Structure 1
Amino acid sequence: MPSSSVLNPTQPVNQQIYRILRSDIVHCLIPPGTPLSEKEVSMRFDVSRQPVREAFIKLAETGLVQIRPQRGTYVNRISVNHVKNGCFIREAIERAVVKRAASMATDSHLYMLEQLLNQQRVAIDRNQLDDFFQLDDEFHEQLALVADCRLAWDTVENIKATMDRVRYMSLDHVSPTNMLLAQHYAIFEALKKHNEDEADQAMHRHLHEISQSILLIRQENSDWFSEE
């Protein structure tokens, strides 16, 4: 079932629709091949077609949908090459980010990161995978803020939509949340010691997990994937 259709009147409509549809696709609520109708989506959110069209364009830029002129908009299958390239770019950015964060982390920064880790533990204990998924992103976003480079996270966020579908599909068995949390703690401990090399290696091990998980996820869900 798709997520909430309630929009915040104080925020840009097209951006909200994009985020909601992105979440629905990433969380496997809208499977590959599903047609997306401007008319139906505009009715869902009770808005005109223009912001919906703008949201579709943004989804196409992230690789989640394909807009076919005169034929419609469809949810893409997961591109193996897109995921691999996204993993390569994300690792290059986040390893640089975490090294810088290790040299800049203050007690206040470490406190905020530790709070996020505690929240992740609670989500795991309650088997709240969606909450853990969101908190995982917040942890990585916070690292970029510690490194005083918000643009780094914005760049990662823009390229990882296809990768996120694999991340979500792997949470319950291929990449267990307890293992991911342990990897987060390894990054956190390196930051506490202000050890740049240790933080770099901890991030490498953590992000390498996605590259490995796609192999098994593709075997289990071959109809969801393409080699393009």
Structure 2
Amino acid sequence: MKASNSEITSPMSAGGDAPLNPPRRRLRRRLGETAQGSSKLPDLLAQVSMDSHEPITRQIFRALRQAIFMGEMAPGTPLSEKEVSDMFHVSRQPVREAFIKLVEAGVLQVLPQRGTFVKRISPRRVREGRFIREAIETAVARKAAQHITDEQLKQLADNLRDQRIAAKANDTAAFLALDEKFHFTIAQTIDCGAAWEAIQDIKAQMDRVRYLSLPDDSPLDHLIKQHAKILGALRAHDPDAAEAAMRGHLREILVTLGPIVARNPAWFEVDERETVPLSE
């Protein structure tokens, strides 16, 4: 039996590809759940297509990762190769490969004699990811300010308009998809695909916190103002201002991380502080 070939609506395609169309639904979170999780998995069949040119392993990886990011599978949720392969109507091999990628991304853990489970979020990994992402994306923003075209500026302006529409509708899932596309579009302006791929590899824990932060800790209007400041600097072709605006935006998570951990302790590991603070 083939999986549905309906449009995939997760914000980011696998492997650092361009973001897909944003999902037109509100973000569903189960913030009150404990870390014990649930054996019932969300129905993700529509997220894959056997007719797609994309390998099925990458589609399964993306569908599971996005469900984890959006809180549809709380920390502690058990995953079995058989259950997931039955859901997607595939053999266990592509599911096993997707699980390995998710373990490498730091969102699944394998406990000997017990099974595979959604992992708690590591605050330290969040700070590490932000530190590395800031180094890359501020350099990208600086270079983009020097080389961005009128057409690319229009794409960012259109994206910002759609962000305001999503915020007005309180559609946090759509907003986060647009946020992802906003950053991806800036990365495209310097024609360095490796930069975006590197960002994708290190920001998994940050993405999980982003979903938990909206809209209570990071009001959408506040984030839109930060995006507008970045766009303004790019439009002015001002490298210093673009770098500063991007740095300020990416440091937002340092402000929100503490309150999010305090409100959702079951979602986080016990914090392990750095010898050299990465938040300063």
- Deviation string 1:20-51 (CA, Å, 9 cap, x unpaired) is 10010000110001111111000111110000
Q: Displacement, 1:70?
A: 4.1
Runs of 4+ in 1 over 4 A off after TM superposition: none
Which of these residues, 67, 87, 97, is aligned with residue 44 of structure 1? Answer: 87
1:126 aligns with 2:126: no
User: CA separation in 2, counterparts of 1:150 and 1:186?
Assistant: 24
Which of these residues, 37, 49, 60, is aligned with residue 8 of structure 1? Answer: 49
Aligned match of 2:220: 177
Judging by fraction of residues, say which structure has more helix: 1
Q: Displacement, 1:134?
A: 0.6
What residue identity is the alignment partner of 1:90?
Answer: R
Q: Secondary structure at the match of 1:78?
A: coil
User: CA separation in 1, counterparts of 2:175 and 2:43?
Assistant: 17
Aligned match of 1:206: 249
User: CA separation in 1, counterparts of 2:63 and 2:143?
Assistant: 32
Q: How does 1:161-200 map to 2 (within 5 A)?
A: 161-200=204-243
Is the Cα–Cα contact under 8 Å of residues 26 and 168 in structure 1 kept in the other structure? yes
User: CA separation in 1, counterparts of 2:152 and 2:229?
Assistant: 16
Q: Displacement, 1:135?
A: 0.6
Q: Secondary structure at the match of 1:211?
A: helix
Which of these residues, 61, 67, 77, is aligned with residue 104 of structure 2? Answer: 61
User: CA separation in 2, counterparts of 1:166 and 1:198?
Assistant: 27
Is the Cα–Cα contact under 8 Å of residues 105 and 146 in structure 1 kept in the other structure? yes
1:153 aligns with 2:193: no
- Deviation string 1:129-181 (CA, Å, 9 cap, x unpaired) is 00001110000011100121121111111211111111111111101111001
Q: Secondary structure at the match of 1:18?
A: helix
Aligned match of 1:143: 186
What residue identity is the alignment partner of 2:137?
Answer: E
Report the number of matched residues.
228
Is the Cα–Cα contact under 8 Å of residues 3 and 20 in structure 1 kept in the other structure? no
User: CA separation in 1, counterparts of 2:250 and 2:258?
Assistant: 15
Which of these residues, 9, 29, 37, is aligned with residue 72 of structure 2? Answer: 29
Q: Secondary structure at the match of 1:32?
A: coil
Is the Cα–Cα contact under 8 Å of residues 146 and 237 in structure 2 kept in the other structure? yes
1:225 aligns with 2:257: no
- In the superposition, relative to structure 1, how do residues 76 and 95 fare at CA in structure 2: closer, same or farther (>3 Å)? same
Aligned match of 2:12: none
Aligned match of 2:160: 117
- Deviation string 1:34-87 (CA, Å, 9 cap, x unpaired) is 111111000111110000001101101110011234432111101011101001
Q: Displacement, 1:4?
A: 3.2
